[in-house]
Amino acid sequence: MILSLRGRIQPEILAPAGTKEALRAAVRCGADAVYLGLERYSARANAQNFTIETLRDAIRYCHSSGVLLYVTLNTLLLDEELPEFAKTVNELCAHSIDAIIVQDIGVARLIHEIAPDLPMHASTQMSVQSLAGLCALAELGFNRAVLPRELSREELVAIIAKAPIECEIFVHGALCACLSGQCLMSAYFGGRSANRGNCAQPCRLPFTRKTDAEETHALSLKDLCLLDALPEMAQMGVASFKIEGRMKRPEYVAAAVSAYRQVLEGSIDPVLRANLRNVFSRSGFTHGYYDARRGYDMEGFRRKEDVTSAKDALPSLAALYAKEQPRFAVKFTLLANIGEAPVLSAELLNDNVHAAVKVSGKMFVEKSRSRMTNRTQLREQLAKCGGTPFYLSDCDLQIQENAYLPLSAVNALRREAIAQIETEISRRAAIPCDPYTHTKIVPHVAAAQKLHIRVTNANQIPKDLSGVARVILPLGIRVLPDLPSGIAPAVEIPRGIFGNEENVLKELCDAKTLGFALTIASGLDGASLAIKAGLPFAAGLGSNICNTQSLRAWRELGATDALISPELPPYQATRLGDELPRSLFAYGRLPLMLLRRCPQCGADGCADCSGMPYVIDRIGKSFPLQCHNGEYSELLACTPAYLADRQRKLAFADDLLLYFTDESPEKCETLLEAFREGKTPKGEYTRGLPGWK
C-alpha cells in the first residue's frame, strides 16, 4: 500500500516497461511503480530491456517523478552466472533501486547474504500459493510476493488477511495456461526455457481435445482484465495491482495504466475501456480464476480482428503520454528586494514526497524607473511548469515596492528551482552491498546410487523392489503399503495447493499417523506444511534447482535431499556442489504444465473423463492430462524420458527417480528391472529435455 500523490492510502499501480518509451508512457499516465528487466536475468529476455547505463537514466526519471522502480532478476541461474549476477546486484544497490523481483531461491539466498537491506519481491514464478508459503518467504527475507493468477477471490481474501508480507496481484494482461514457474513445455518442444526467460509460447498454438471435431486452442487463454474488481481488491489489502506486458508497445501500457488509474479514482471513460480491449486482447478478456471459473469460455487466441482493431486505437492512446502530466503540487515563494539578488523558494505540498529548495538569481533587483512589476505576470510565469511533473498550487510574492524584476529572470529562477527539486526528490542513499566471495565449487560426490519410484496408485508398486530406496505415493492414501525393510515410504504433497492448505495439512498429519516418515514437496508451500505437520521433506519436482546456492538454500530449509531441475543439462548438473543428496528424473512422462483448469473437461471442476484425458497437437501427438481430484491437472509429455542405459553418465546423482503415471503394474515391473540391468530402451522414448540428448 502507498500514500498516493493524491493524498490517499491505496494500492500502487505497477506498470511494465520493456522500452524507454513504454517507461515514459507508464510514468506519464499515472503509474505509482514500474518494473523492467535488464539484458540478462529477465523472464522476458526477448523484450528490448535495459542496459545498466540506460537503467541509471530510468531510475533518475522515475525517482524524480515520484515513481518507484523495480528490476526483474527473475530467471533461474547457473553457477557460472552468479559472479556476474552479483556485480549487477552491486550496481543496483549503488543506484538505490527500490526492489528486485526474483524467482530462484538460490539467487534470493545470495542477495540476502550480500545485500540484506535490498528489498526483494518473490516472483509469481516461485509458485507460492498459500499462507504457509508466504510465511516461508518472510523468513527468507522477502518483503512482497506476487501471488498466482490462479487464485480465486475467496482464496485471495483468506491469504491476504493473514499475510506476513505485502501481496501483489496481476490485474491485467496475458494468462498462461500453466501455473507460473511450473512450465517445461517450451523447453520440451524446442529447448527454450520459460524459467530462463526464453518462452516460445507453444501453448498459443492449436491443441485439440479428444472430443473436438475441429481444431481448437485448448491451452490458450484470453487475457485477464480485472478493472471491475479493483475496488473490492483494494478493500482486501492488496498492496500492488500489477499489469503484465513488458513485450507490449507503449500505447498498451498507456491504455492499461490510464484505465486502472481512472477506476481507482472513481470512474472510467467508456472510450478508454473500449480501447483497452482494442489495443490488445485474445478473443476479448476474462475474469478467469478470480471468479472461480475454469470453463471453455476462458479460452482465447489472437484473431485477425484482434490485430486490426488496434490500428484505430493507437493514435488516441499515444496522445495519453505525449507530454508530462502534473503530479506534484508546488508552492513558490519569490523574494525580491531592491539591490539584492532575487530568491525563489520551492516546496512540494504532497504528503508522501518531501522536498524544499532555494535558488538565487544572478542579477540584482532594480528600482523601477518607468515600469512596475506586474504581479499577475509573475504568477503566470511561475505557473509555466509544462514539460515537468510539477504544477503551481500556491504562490507567495514578496516584492518590495517599486522593485523591477524581468520576466526572463523569473523564468530562469523557476527552471533552476524545478531542476534542483527534481534532483532532491530523486536522491536516494546507496544500499549497502558486500562483494560476492566466489569460492571454487567442489562437485558433489554421490553415494552408492539408489532408485526412487513414484507411483500414481499403490497397485503400480513392483513386487521386486531390489535397488529401491524410496517409494513415493500420493497424499491421501489411507493404507501404508507393506514394503521391505530399508525402503522409505513417502507421500507426495500436491503441487497445486491453492485454497486447500488446511486439507493438505490435515492429510499430512494423517500420513504421519499412518507411518509415513517423509514427504516430497515441490516448493515452499509444501515444505512449510510438512514442517508444520512434523514430517521431514525432500525438494521434489517443481523446486527448480539449477545451482549450488539453491541446493544450500533447500538444505538450510531442512530438506533431506532434492531433485535437480530436469532443465539442467548433464554437464552443468555434474558441477553442482554442496553436500545435499540429489536425485535426477530418469524415467517417466515429464509433467510439462500444472494447470488449475482441465482443458479436456472444460467445466468449473473436473467431470468424468472416462479414463485419462488428453489434448492433441498440430502433428497429431497426444499429451495426457492427469487430473488431481478436480483441483488441478498436469499436462504430461507425449513420450516418456528414459535413461536406464545412461547410468554411468549419471553417477554424480545419489538417486534416480522413476516417475510412473499411466503405466500398468506389469510395465512398472519391467521398467524397474530395466533400470537394475541398464537395458537400452524399446519403443518410443526421449532422453528428457533437449539439453539431455
Question: Are 274 and 348 part of one and the same domain?
Answer: no
C-alpha distance from residue 86 to each of 83, 89, 90, 95 (Å): 5, 5, 6, 14
Confidence of residue 666 (pLDDT cuts 50, 70, 90): very high
Residues counted in the chain: 693
Is residue 438, in this structure, part of any structural domain at all?
no
Is residue 214, in this structure, part of any structural domain at all?
no
Number of domains in the chain: 3
Question: Are 532 and 584 part of one and the same domain?
Answer: yes
Confidence of residue 602 (pLDDT cuts 50, 70, 90): low
- Yes or no: say if 397 and 375 are a contact pair by the CB < 8 Å rule: yes
Is residue 261, in this structure, part of any structural domain at all?
yes
Cell of 122: 518473490
Would you call 154 helix, strand, or coil by DSSP?
helix
The average pLDDT across 672-689 equals 91
- Could you report the per-residue pLDDT of 147-201, keeping only the tens digit for each? 999 999 999 999 999 999 999 999 999 999 999 999 999 999 888 899 998 899 9
Question: Are 367 and 481 part of one and the same domain?
Answer: no
* pLDDT surpasses 90 at 343: yes
Cell of 360: 538565487
CA-CA-CA-CA torsion sign (628, 634, 640, 646): negative
* pLDDT surpasses 70 at 661: yes
* pLDDT surpasses 80 at 693: no
Average pLDDT value for the chain: 92
Q: Which of 319, 350, 377 is the last residue of a domain?
A: 319
Confidence of residue 1 (pLDDT cuts 50, 70, 90): low
Cell of 265: 479514482
Is residue 293, in this structure, part of any structural domain at all?
yes
SS (H, E, C) 591-651: EEEEECCCCCCCCCCCCCCCCCCEEECCCCCEEEEEEECCCEEEEECCCCEECHHHHHHHC
- Domain at 500, CATH number: 3.20.20.110
Predicted local distance difference test score (pLDDT) of residue 7: 43
CA-nearest of 155, 105, 154, 152 to 130 is 155
Domain that holds residue 251: 2-175+221-319
- Global pTM? 0.93
Rounded to an integer, what distance in angstroms lies between the CA atom of residue 77 and that of residue 73? 10
For residue 397, the surrounding DSSP H or E stretch is strand 390-399
Predicted local distance difference test score (pLDDT) of residue 384: 93
Is residue 444, in this structure, part of any structural domain at all?
no
Question: Are 401 and 496 part of one and the same domain?
Answer: no
Q: How many CB atoms lie within 10 A of CB 483?
A: 14
Confidence of residue 8 (pLDDT cuts 50, 70, 90): very low
Question: Are 418 and 513 part of one and the same domain?
Answer: no
Rounded to an integer, what distance in angstroms lies between the CA atom of residue 314 and that of residue 40? 30
Rounded to an integer, what distance in angstroms lies between the CA atom of residue 560 and that of residue 582? 9
- Yes or no: say if 209 and 216 are a contact pair by the CB < 8 Å rule: yes
The average pLDDT across 602-615 equals 65
Cell of 423: 534532483
Confidence of residue 502 (pLDDT cuts 50, 70, 90): very high
The average pLDDT across 446-471 equals 95
Rounded to an integer, what distance in angstroms lies between the CA atom of residue 139 and that of residue 141? 5
Q: Half-sphere exposure of residue 302, counting CA atoms within 13 Å on the CB side?
A: 11
Question: Are 304 and 332 part of one and the same domain?
Answer: no
The average pLDDT across 425-451 equals 91
Is residue 352, in this structure, part of any structural domain at all?
yes
Question: Are 360 and 490 part of one and the same domain?
Answer: no
For residue 584, the surrounding DSSP H or E stretch is strand 582-588
Is residue 615, in this structure, part of any structural domain at all?
no
Cell of 479: 493404507
CA-nearest of 457, 454, 453 to 628 is 457
Predicted local distance difference test score (pLDDT) of residue 605: 53
Q: Which of 259, 289, 319 is the last residue of a domain?
A: 319
Question: Are 366 and 511 part of one and the same domain?
Answer: no
- Yes or no: say if 276 and 259 are a contact pair by the CB < 8 Å rule: yes
Q: Look up residue 503 and give its amino acid.
A: N
- Domain at 63, CATH number: 3.20.20.70
Predicted local distance difference test score (pLDDT) of residue 691: 58
SS (H, E, C) 6-69: CCCEECEEEEECCCHHHHHHHHHCCCCEEEEEECCCCCCCCCCCECHHHHHHHHHHHHHCCCEE
C-alpha distance from residue 685 to each of 306, 592, 665, 675, 681 (Å): 39, 15, 19, 15, 7
Q: Half-sphere exposure of residue 66, counting CA atoms within 13 Å on the CB side?
A: 30
Q: How many CB atoms lie within 10 A of CB 146?
A: 25
The average pLDDT across 262-274 equals 94
Question: Are 389 and 341 part of one and the same domain?
Answer: yes
DSSP string over 277-298: HHHS-SSSEE-GGGGT--SGGG
- Could you report the per-residue pLDDT of 322-332, keeping only the tens digit for each? 998 888 999 99
* pLDDT surpasses 70 at 291: yes
Question: Are 274 and 379 part of one and the same domain?
Answer: no
Question: Are 382 and 256 part of one and the same domain?
Answer: no
Neighbouring-strand partners of residue 545:
564
Q: Where are the beta strands (DSSP E) in 400-524?
A: 403-404, 450-454, 468-474, 488-492, 518-521
CA-nearest of 171, 283, 277 to 228 is 171
Predicted local distance difference test score (pLDDT) of residue 263: 96
Is residue 582, in this structure, part of any structural domain at all?
yes
Q: Which of 271, 288, 319 is the last residue of a domain?
A: 319
Question: Are 404 and 534 part of one and the same domain?
Answer: no
CA-nearest of 591, 507, 470 to 542 is 591
